[in-house]
Structure formats: C-alpha cells, structure tokens
A = this chain, B = another copy of it.
C-alpha cells in the first residue's frame, strides 16, 4: 500500500499528510511564514530543484493552503501567499520547530528565537487544552471514535 491510500475516514492525519506531509512542502511553508512569496526566493533560499518547487507550490495552491496572486501585470508575475487555511498550520509547524530546538540545539541555544508580540517575551510553544487551558500531554488524553468515524 502507499501511504496515501490509508483510509481518510478514520484518520485526519493521513488527510493532513496528503496535503503537507512532505519534507520540501514543510520547508516551503516555513519560508512562507517568514514572508517569502516568490518562486525564485523560495528556490534560492531552499536550494530546491525548480521542478520540485513548481510541483509543491501548485499542490499547495490546489489544496487551498497557498494562493497565487498577481503582484504586477507587465510582465505578469505572481506570488504565493498563505491562505487562512495555510495560516492554521502555524501551530503544527512551530511545534515541529520547537521540538528540533529542544532536542538538537547546541550549547549556545537555538538558531532562531521567537518573540510573542502581544506580551513582548521570547517564548516557546505549549500545547494546551481548548477547554481548561492547561498544557496537554499524551498520557492525559484518551481517544475514541468520533461522529465522523466510518
């Protein structure tokens, strides 16, 4: 079986991975959150093969994560911007970055620090419960079939 033949109905993760579960795709999204928007900028910052970049960008556009907008007309040029759906990926992406920071930063600390504008502090991400607001960890969660289960 191929990964993308996994049942979508019982697994939101498979669905998510079908859209963004590819290493270059995630790197492209990281750049997008850093406000990179143009083909050649993605290409030169990542060093990704142009053919692969073309394919990843159109895939993301097709799935509504990015949108392609003209930023000039003569010559016609487009840029790729995150949609609301794309911005919703921020928590997932930041969690992945912070996992890397936590487990692979050298003695000096992480390569990048994030500042929360609202409170003014450097921060790291914490996953919390939408209902009680407390931090969530794996052992405090149970899983059961939901209304959309097959």
Contact = CB atoms under 8 A, between A and B. Distances in A.
Interface of A: 1, 3-6, 8-17, 21-24, 26-27, 30, 33-34, 46-49, 82, 85, 87-106, 108-119, 121-134, 136-150
B123 A102 contact: no
A12 B124 contact: no
A34 B139 CA distance: 10
Main secondary structure of the interface of A (DSSP, over half): mixed
Count this chain's copies in the assembly.
2
A119 B49 CA distance: 48
B127 A142 contact: no
A130 B125 contact: yes
Nearest to A115: B142
Contacts of A94: 127, 136, 141
Nearest to A105: B148
B130 A124 contact: yes
Contacts of A138: 33, 82, 87, 90
Given A12-B105, A128-B126, A92 B99 contact: yes
B143 A12 contact: no
Contacts of A24: 3
A112 to B, nearest CB: 5
Contacts of A116: 129, 131-132, 134, 136, 140-141
A26 B102 CA distance: 19
